[in-house]
């Protein structure tokens, strides 16, 4: 027997795109602000962004940004798309949907498309450990956190 979960794919996609763009902008901004306030030495020529001192120092802030934004956007999704009495299957499916979308989007924009911030598969998925796994965990768990917030408020 399959669970029938009503996931508003259009709304989930819209919230995903919005959250993803905001997280990306805020993460770059955090790295930039760290470089200004701490006055770190410039990155060595030819290095990847994960080796830059400002990026390394700002990674914990990136995780906090991810946690706050993904939880906020999943909260907004549930407040506009779910009726009272929804259960944990909705947040799990939204978390899985967003996790897969984030993984595909990251692969396309940070690995496959050549750009100044593009990385190899190895750099992105191996050298960026444990941060990328923690980030994906945050994307997945944020709808569950929002569910708990909504459930505890009602």
Q: Which two tokens stand for residue 15?
A: 């919230």
Q: Calculate mean pLDDT across residues 49-67.
A: 84
Q: Can you list the alpha helix ranges (DSSP code H) found in 39-123?
A: 53-81, 89-106, 121-122
pLDDT, one tens digit per residue, over 35-51 is 788 776 665 666 666 66
The torsion angles phi and psi of 84, rounded to 5 degrees, stand at -55, 145
The pLDDT of residue 26 is: 96
- Say how many residues make up the chain: 154
Q: Which two tokens stand for residue 94?
A: 């939204």
The pLDDT of residue 119 is: 85
Q: Give the percent of the chain with pLDDT over 90.
A: 54
Q: Please answer whether residues 134 and 99 qualify as being in contact, where contact means their C-beta atoms are separated by less than 8 angstroms.
A: no
* Whether residue 54 has pLDDT greater than 80: no
User: Across the chain, what does the average pLDDT equal?
Assistant: 87
pLDDT, one tens digit per residue, over 63-113 is 999 999 999 999 999 988 876 556 778 899 999 999 999 999 999 998 999
Q: Please answer whether residues 34 and 58 qualify as being in contact, where contact means their C-beta atoms are separated by less than 8 angstroms.
A: yes
Q: Give the percent of the chain with pLDDT over 70.
A: 86
3 state SS of 2: coil
């Amino acid at each position: 027997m399959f669970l029938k979960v009503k996931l508003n794919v259009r709304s989930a996609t819209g919230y995903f795109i919005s959250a993803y763009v905001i997280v990306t902008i805020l993460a770059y901004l955090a790295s930039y602000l760290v470089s200004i306030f701490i006055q770190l030495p410039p990155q060595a020529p030819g290095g990847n962004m994960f080796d830059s001192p400002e990026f390394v120092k700002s990674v914990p802030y990136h995780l906090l940004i991810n946690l706050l934004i993904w939880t906020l956007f999943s909260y907004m999704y549930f407040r506009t798309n779910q009726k009272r009495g929804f259960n944990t299957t909705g947040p799990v499916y939204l978390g899985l949907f967003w996790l897969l979308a984030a993984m595909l989007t990251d692969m396309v924009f940070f690995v496959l498309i050549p750009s100044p911030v593009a990385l190899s598969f190895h750099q992105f998925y191996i050298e960026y450990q444990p941060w990328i796994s923690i980030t994906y965990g945050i994307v997945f768990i944020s709808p569950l956190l929002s569910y708990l917030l909504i459930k505890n408020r009602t």
